[in-house]
A and B are shown apart, each in its own frame.
Chain A
């Protein structure tokens, strides 16, 4: 009778091996670039080198105390807020319909929703450039309808940027909302209806509160994307519709002011995160109060 040979215990990889990919990913693609930008934002400016040898907080002081910068910050935040609100108002009914429909055309509707994402951003923005020009389709249609005598200035204004961003970011609010609305059991709303609540009351008291996580996610996504959007404001906004992202690129690329541009970028990132934290707190508090 042969003696059983005990199997060697499987070799276990150390635990830190498991988190190594995440550490490399975060460290290499997030922390290192950010750290580099933060360090650069404190370097002194120079006209004979990328930046000077010394360190300064001067770029931050300049950014924070400059009314010109605050004017563009206000325009950027206002544009992002309007885009977020309008995409929510336009996207919610679409997501609701898609979540509830049993139509055989549902897949066609899905394609319509994601269609803005199927074309390159530059191409989409060029299309808006043509539509919104003084002699473009929008002004021609308004003039033909007798609503205007002189063309509305869409291009080189925040209005043109807002319109184009709404189109570009609409799917980003519809898709999270759709997932959320599909997860809501329709019987919950039916229960409300069976207890005598009107359609409207059922929607506002049952469906809308339950879809708050989807609204929250979509709103954050669109707000962040609008705050950092570059191509659309750069192509349609001109100088009057210029946003922070455009200003940062101007500092970095046009004026070669890397330290000041880095300070501006960090300032913008901090501002965006602050607004989102505030929004999360407010919406979390509102959700707690829901029935």
Chain B
């Protein structure tokens, strides 16, 4: 039987525990969301120790996809598990519209001053710190006439039936769809024209992620496809007969958007982490490891990697970007239409 004395003792003990609990909470490591595979490896082995050594902030990674981080932040409601979000800009735009992010305090991110144009969102609502350009790649042993422009996909009959495209769930497909609208229609929001033109490319093989495109190219299931430099240079390192170009119209790009989560537990650490990622030294490491284009003008790419990365320096202006804040209103409808009309 619980007596009043027991009750008072319990309440007293709980009150004494509160500061301890708060301290324990305060000592919880800063959670860094990142991707799996080689990304997680680099973060665990290099970036996290470097970050701790540079800032004194203890941290741990949480591996997933941008969409997984969205689900966890949404599910967290008023107490998000992350203070920083990493994901493609079109995915970040969804959470931003739902009010989960707050503007960056740029005074805490001095390295952002050296970012290339177009990488900081309007109103400091997030910035893009990792840039993976998407070009047009092909199998050199299967294609006689290498492509020069995105429009070649439609105009060169040699490519018919050998084309690979991203599935609409991947940001790459949404970028390509909007590019088709811009190339052939009234603009990147001309979805009807984009669908008409993409249907002209059928039959084509679809892939859910870049690794799948790379595998399809390796197997010869597709001979030409839009894909990022990361995948193609990695295939070349393994001796695969593949090549990639910057199309005449420019390149598309996976841009990892970094945002401060409004309900996250440690926004100071989140700002420090974003600043750390933008550091020229870290940007160089990312470029050498993943063949991404440095976002910081001060970053130096190694002599071995630099000639293989055409989208750097002044060429960063060749990246074709789209506004996502309005697109998210129609994103689900577009995805549904793709599933029904393209398959």
Contact = CB atoms under 8 A, between A and B. Distances in A.
Contacts of B328: 47
A133 B212 CA distance: 12
A156 B94 contact: no
A14 to B, nearest CB: 14
A253 B329 CA distance: 16
A124 interface: no
Contacts of B205: 156, 238
Contact of A256 (B70, B99, B208): B70
Given A68-B340, A133-B219, A133-B221, A254 B98 contact: no
A235 to B, nearest CB: 8
B99 to A, nearest CB: 7
A254 B219 CA distance: 27
A155 B208 CA distance: 13
A141 to B, nearest CB: 16
A239 interface: yes
A182 interface: no
Interface string A233-262: 010001110000001001011111110000
A279 B88 CA distance: 46
A48 interface: yes
Contact of B219 (A135, A156, A247, A257): A135
Interface residues of A, number: 25
B187 to A, nearest CB: 21
Contact of B98 (A50, A129, A136): A50
A254 B335 contact: yes
A238 B209 CA distance: 12
Contact of B220 (A50, A68, A134): A134
B125 to A, nearest CB: 15
Given A50-B98, A256-B332, A250 B339 contact: yes
Contacts of A195: none
B331 interface: yes
A253 B67 contact: yes
Contact of B343 (A48, A239, A253, A254): A239
A254 B220 contact: no
Contacts of B329: 47
Q: Which of B97, B332, B342 has the most CB of A within 10 A?
A: B332
Given A47-B328, A156-B205, A257-B332, A136 B219 contact: yes
A134 B335 contact: no
B249 interface: no
A255 to B, nearest CB: 4
Nearest to A136: B219
A49 B169 contact: no
A134 B67 contact: no
Interface in B42-73: 67-68, 70-71
B312 interface: no
B206 A239 contact: yes
B67 to A, nearest CB: 5
A258 to B, nearest CB: 8
Interface in A28-62: 47-50
B12 to A, nearest CB: 28
B166 to A, nearest CB: 12
B219 A255 contact: no
Given A135-B220, A234-B208, A254 B169 contact: yes
A240 B168 CA distance: 14
A48 B335 contact: no
B206 A238 contact: yes
A258 B340 CA distance: 19
B167 interface: yes
Contacts of A68: 339-340
B215 interface: yes
Nearest to A71: B340
A210 B220 CA distance: 51
A74 B161 CA distance: 28
A111 B3 CA distance: 60
A17 B74 CA distance: 36
A247 B338 CA distance: 13
A37 to B, nearest CB: 13
B152 interface: no
B336 A255 contact: yes
Given A253-B67, A255-B332, A255-B336, A155 B221 contact: yes
A254 B70 CA distance: 10
A254 to B, nearest CB: 4
A253 B71 contact: yes
A255 B170 CA distance: 10
Contacts of A256: 67, 70, 94, 331-332
Nearest to B91: A256
Interface of A: 47-50, 68, 129, 133-136, 155-156, 234, 238-240, 247, 250, 252-258
24 contacts: A47-B97, A47-B328, A47-B329, A47-B332, A49-B99, A68-B339, A133-B219, A134-B220, A134-B221, A135-B219, A135-B220, A135-B221, A234-B208, A238-B205, A239-B167, A239-B206, A240-B343, A250-B339, A253-B67, A253-B71, A254-B335, A256-B331, A257-B332, A258-B74
Given A156-B205, A239-B343, 17 more contacts: A48-B97, A50-B98, A68-B340, A136-B219, A156-B206, A238-B167, A238-B206, A239-B339, A240-B343, A253-B67, A253-B71, A253-B169, A254-B335, A255-B335, A255-B336, A256-B70, A256-B332
